[in-house]
């Protein structure tokens, strides 16, 4: 990469993205959708999404920035912004050329609401929300499950994967339409493959 400061080389680890894509692919291919496997898939999906989005905005920021500021200072400040806020700012403040694809821009604007639903699972699992069924034998053998427990099934997982693909495809669409002379089509394509690709779920 290069900017007004001259040339530089940025090497950012994509290990966690690659590792968690592989976990998802392995568990889904095996077809054993036990509760524990579903938890592993859900957590890995969220790591792929959040790390991928943050990684994408690292490279967009470095490639677009023109002021004479240390690259690491830029990264540290970018990392203070939550990944959903990064997407909001990109969609609302970025310059885009949608050409004849305005209908797709409208469609993918919905990723902002989809993200709110999608991140509930991450927050619940990683913040230790209860995964529990309570059996009330004194009330006619009734059973009640927590919200997170009710979601650990194949139907919910399939819907969650659809949301994941929709979010990543949406960000990919906005990246494709992002209007800047600093980022070529080839560079955008490379970033899509590194940070947004959902092919491991096929």
* Helix spans in the chain (H): 15-30, 35-64, 71-78, 83-93, 102-108, 111-126, 147-150, 154-177, 185-191
In this predicted model, what pLDDT tens digit does every residue of 72-122 receive, in sequence order? 888 888 899 999 999 999 999 999 999 999 999 999 999 999 998 899 898
As to burial, measured by CB atoms within 10 angstroms (0-12 exposed, 13-18 middle, 19+ buried), residue 21 is buried
> What's the total number of domains in the chain?
1
Q: What global pTM score does this model have?
A: 0.88
For 6, phi then psi, to 5°, come to 110, -155
DSSP-derived letter for residue 127 is T
For residues 107 and 78, the answer to whether their CB atoms sit within 8 Å is no
Domain with 72, as residue range(s), is 2-201
Tens digit of each residue's pLDDT (9 = 90 or more) over 51-75: 999 999 999 988 877 667 788 888 8
In this model, does residue 159 exceed pLDDT 50? yes
Q: How confident is the model at residue 5, as a pLDDT? A: 42
């Amino acid at each position: 990469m290069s900017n007004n400061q001259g040339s530089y080389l940025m090497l950012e680890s994509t290990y966690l993205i690659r590792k968690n894509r592989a976990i998802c692919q392995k568990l889904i291919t095996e077809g054993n959708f036990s509760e524990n496997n579903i938890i592993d898939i859900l957590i890995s999906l969220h790591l792929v999404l959040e790390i991928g989005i943050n990684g994408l905005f690292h490279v967009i920021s470095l490639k677009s920035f023109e002021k004479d500021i240390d690259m690491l200072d830029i990264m540290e400040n970018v990392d203070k912004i939550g990944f959903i806020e990064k997407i909001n700012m990109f969609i609302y403040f970025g310059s885009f050329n949608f050409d004849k694809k305005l209908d797709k821009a409208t469609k993918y604007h919905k990723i902002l609401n989809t993200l709110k639903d999608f991140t509930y699972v991450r927050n619940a699992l990683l913040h230790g929300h209860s995964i529990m069924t309570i059996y009330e034998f004194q009330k006619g053998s009734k059973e009640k499950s927590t919200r997170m427990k009710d979601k650990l099934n194949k139907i919910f997982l399939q819907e969650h994967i659809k949301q994941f693909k929709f979010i990543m495809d949406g960000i990919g669409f906005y990246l494709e339409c992002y209007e800047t002379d600093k980022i070529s089509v080839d560079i955008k394509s490379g970033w899509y493959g590194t940070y947004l690709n959902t092919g491991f779920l096929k």
